[in-house]
């Protein structure tokens, strides 16, 4: 992990947060005060300050409820000031009990940490995504700012209950049958104003840590960009968010043009102060002269259209439509146009038969 940036509140001088647990270290098996038979793991990023409120991401694992569920999200937490919390029971261990644990731990976490109740996020991997969307639909008593799905999405009924203000991010492996479930969730069922699928090459396991950071940052940015109400810290946080991204992407405009173009396109619509606007325009100008960046901007909507057409049908469509000639034909056509991009690996897997193994 790179050196952490000051978390949400970003760079302001203030006393370090003092609470029950040390900052920058995963605290394990914390018992809920209202039910000592239920427990959770917690991570408070370094740099949190006394007297400020921070977003919280509740994460539900699929197979195991050990602290590794949080470990994959630490970099994203440090960069975005997210408090992380996960039940010590995974969805496949006992779905109902994991749901009960999450329901019970949410008020416990909110009471014992400097949580911003307007910025609560629910995330899950595979079956854990089903529990996460239950939390996000406000059935646990607190509205969500966003959801983060990995390797599985939410059902049509649950997604229909999500307010349009809830941002929806999903990570899916392009070579797995999960591409149908996630595509249906985001492209067919979701009514969100802000929604996106991050496709990554491969078949199972969690997505690359960097992709998780990208999705978490995207969710954080959606809130900061759209926030209303004149919160005093809002302008400072938006500027710090943009600076965090610019500091990472400016050195790699030539070597990682696709990733940089993705973020610059996002930041061009971000309300930040004048000096940062100048940096964004300068980066955008450089990328406008980069062949791969220009090609990526054309490729991304085509790839999304492919996923809508071939995968956003029904979650179980892979049983009869896995590896069709039509998908291969359309993928080959995209590869002929975009074969030199990093995104081409995703396109190639879209056109091939998806692995049917169980995501963990």
CATH number for 42? 3.40.50.1820
Number of domains in the chain: 3
Exposure letters 255-275 (e unless 16+ CB within 10 A, then b): ebbbbbbbbbebbeebebeee
Query: Do the Cβ atoms of 29 and 71 come closer than 8 Å?
Result: no
* Same domain for 179 and 108: yes
- Nearest Cα neighbor of 192 from 271, 137, 150, 152 is 137
Vertex 313: Cα angle to 308 and 314 (nearest 5): 135
Same domain, residue pair 62 and 201: yes
d(CA 133, CA 162): 8
Strand partners, 122: 58, 147
Domain of 151 in residue numbering reads as 26-226
pLDDT at 1: 38
| In a domain? residue 359 | no
Flag whether 329 is in a domain. yes
For residues 216 and 259, state if they share a domain: no
pLDDT for residue 29: 96
Q: Are residues 46 and 172 in the same domain?
A: yes
How open is the CA angle 158-181-338, to the nearest 5 degrees? Answer: 130
In a domain, 313, yes or no: yes
242 and 297 part of one domain = no
- pLDDT value, residue 206: 63
Mark out the alpha helices in the chain (DSSP H runs): 68-71, 74-80, 95-112, 127-134, 156-161, 178-183, 209-226, 234-249, 257-267, 274-288, 291-310, 318-321, 325-338, 344-350
Is 102 inside any structural domain?
Answer: yes
pLDDT of residue 184: 98
> What is d(CA 29, CA 41) in angstroms, rounded to the nearest whole number?
5
Q: pTM of the prediction?
A: 0.93
Residues 129 and 68 in one domain: yes
Judge whether 18 lies within some domain: no
Both 178 and 242 in one domain: the answer is no
One domain, residues 243 and 326: no
- If asked whether residues 324 and 215 sit together in one domain, one would say no
Which residues of the chain carry a pLDDT beneath 50? 1-9, 11, 358-360
Evaluate whether residue 12 is within a structural domain. no
Separation between Cα atoms, residue 224 and residue 234, nearest integer Å:
7
Whether 246 and 197 share a structural domain = no
In a domain? residue 61: yes
Among residues 38, 56, 45, the alpha carbon closest in space to that of 10 is found at 45
Q: What is the pLDDT of residues 146-175, one digit of tens each?
A: 999 998 999 999 999 999 999 999 999 999
Does residue 233 belong to any structural domain of this protein?
A: no
Q: Provide the CA 234 distance to its chain's centre, in angstroms.
A: 21
């Amino acid at each position: 992990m790179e050196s952490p940036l000051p978390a949400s509140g970003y760079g302001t001088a203030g006393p370090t947060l003092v609470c029950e647990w040390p900052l920058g270290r995963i605290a394990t098996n914390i018992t809920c005060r209202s039910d000592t038979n239920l427990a959770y793991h917690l991570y408070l990023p370094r740099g949190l300050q006394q007297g400020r409120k921070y977003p919280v991401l509740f994460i539900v694992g699929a197979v195991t409820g050990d602290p590794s569920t949080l470990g994959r999200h630490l970099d994203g937490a440090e960069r975005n000031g997210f408090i992380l919390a996960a039940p010590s029971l995974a969805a496949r261990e006992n779905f109902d009990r994991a749901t009960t644990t999450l329901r019970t731990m949410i008020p416990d976490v909110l009471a014992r940490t400097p949580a911003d109740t307007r910025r609560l996020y629910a995330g899950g991997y595979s079956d854990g995504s089903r529990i996460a969307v239950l939390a996000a639909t406000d059935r646990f008593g607190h509205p969500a700012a966003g959801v983060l799905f990995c390797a599985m999405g939410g059902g049509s009924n649950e997604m229909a209950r999500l307010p349009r203000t809830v941002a929806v991010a999903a990570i899916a492996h392009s070579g797995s049958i999960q591409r149908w479930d996630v595509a249906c969730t985001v492209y067919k069922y979701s009514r969100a104003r802000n929604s996106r699928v991050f496709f990554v090459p491969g078949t199972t396991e969690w997505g690359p840590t960097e992709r998780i950071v990208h999705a978490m940052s995207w969710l954080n940015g959606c809130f900061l960009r759209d926030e209303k109400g004149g919160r005093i810290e809002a302008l400072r946080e938006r500027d710090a968010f943009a600076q965090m991204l610019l500091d990472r992407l400016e050195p790699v405009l030539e070597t990682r043009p696709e990733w940089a173009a993705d973020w610059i396109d996002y930041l061009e619509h971000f309300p930040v102060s004048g000096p940062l606007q100048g940096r964004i325009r300068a980066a955008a100008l450089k990328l406008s002269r980069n062949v791969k960046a220009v090609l990526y901007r054309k490729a991304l909507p085509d790839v999304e259209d492919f996923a809508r057409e071939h995968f956003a049908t029904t979650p179980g469509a892979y049983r009869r439509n896995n590896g069709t000639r039509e998908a291969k034909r359309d993928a080959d056509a995209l590869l002929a146009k975009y074969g030199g991009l990093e995104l081409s690996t995703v396109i190639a897997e879209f056109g091939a038969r998806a692995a049917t193994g169980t995501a963990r």
